[in-house]
Amino acid sequence: MKNFAYREADSKDAILAALAELKDAYVIAGGTNVMLNILDKKVNDRTLVNLRNAKELRGIKDNGETITIGATTTISDLEHSELIAGEAKALWQAAVSFADPTTRHSATVGGNISNASPAADTATALMVLDAVVTIEKKGAKREVALTDFFKGVGKTVLAADEIVTAITFKKSHNCAFIKLGLRNAMAISVANVAVNLVKQGDVVKDIKIAMGSVAPTVRRCAEVEKALLGKKLEDAVIAEAVKGLDKDISPIDDIRATGKYRKQVAPVLVTRAIYAACGCKDGGAK
């Protein structure tokens, strides 16, 4: 391991000031990705700026129709939040199926999205909840839709002196997240899917579908959404709609699965997640 400097900061302003001042800053939150990056020598000779002691960056706030979570809110915080379990079930399901209790205790939501892995579980759930990312640097603040936040594998819109400070998303009572891993715990997603559905009677009034681990970034499945919008939600309609995944996803082979396998399971996962969002776990859209 190479030499690292380390900067503690106990407030958001102190962190933003350090990022404005240091040319070699590298932000660390829970460290679950950063430590591996250091061991793999992907990050060398940097000044690590720790986010975890800024109390204002952590917490879950009920705003009425939306919820705001601070960037250093941990996956474990989400898992134990009644608000998240009741009003954003897809995100809660992403949290409870994430890694193991020790990792969930350290890993943060801000770190999960900023790391920009195509397999980031919270990103898939947050994307169907219309999440907006608050990004700050010294003296400036901007908001970016999560759909526009990712630029590629490991790449985001963040500049070197910017951090994610919060994520705000809409509440939903009709959403679900499903993860396919190689085992039940401690598994990075082979593929994951989240659905957020609004029905008027049997008809789809609004639907958002996102998938992870099937493209360079977590992404919305626009073709499938379009095929379902305004339609009566029936098994045959869903079966036809999920054919649109051919255009929505472009999975590759990696150590966890082949692209061909991912293409085969994607329609099954999306179908199951639609049923789950309707509250019909065992199949059948009604």
**Which residues of the chain form contacts with ligand FAD (CB under 6 A)?**
26-34, 36, 51, 71, 98-99, 103, 106-108, 110-112, 114-115, 119-121, 158, 163-164, 186, 188
Task: State the minimum distance, in angstroms, from the CB of residue 97 to ligand FAD.
Answer: 7
Comparison of 213 and 271: residue with beta carbon closer to ligand FAD: 213
Q: In what order do the strands lie in the sheet with 132-137?
A: 60-62, 66-70, 163-170, 132-137, 140-145
Comparison of 148 and 246: residue with beta carbon closer to ligand FAD: 148
Task: State the minimum distance, in angstroms, from the CB of residue 199 to ligand FAD.
Answer: 29
- Give the whole-angstrom CA distance, residue 167 versus residue 145: 10
- CA angle, 208 then 213 then 216, to 5°: 95
Comparison of 20 and 36: residue with beta carbon closer to ligand FAD: 36
In the complex, residue closest to ligand FAD by CB? 111
Task: State the minimum distance, in angstroms, from the CB of residue 79 to ligand FAD.
Answer: 12
Question: Are the C-beta atoms of 167 and 108 separated by less than 8 Å?
Answer: no
**Residues in the chain, overall count:** 286
Task: Name the residue with tokens 């999306």.
Answer: 270
Comparison of 62 and 100: residue with beta carbon closer to ligand FAD: 100
Task: State the minimum distance, in angstroms, from the CB of residue 212 to ligand FAD.
Answer: 8
- CA angle, 152 then 158 then 160, to 5°: 120
Alpha-carbon dihedral angle through residues 69, 94, 281, 84, given to the nearest 10 degrees: -20
Question: Are the C-beta atoms of 278 and 197 separated by less than 8 Å?
Answer: yes
Task: State the minimum distance, in angstroms, from the CB of residue 228 to ligand FAD.
Answer: 26
Task: State the minimum distance, in angstroms, from the CB of residue 239 to ligand FAD.
Answer: 29
Comparison of 51 and 60: residue with beta carbon closer to ligand FAD: 51
- CA angle, 219 then 66 then 231, to 5°: 55
Phi, psi at residue 140, to the nearest 5°?
Answer: -150, 150
Comparison of 50 and 242: residue with beta carbon closer to ligand FAD: 50
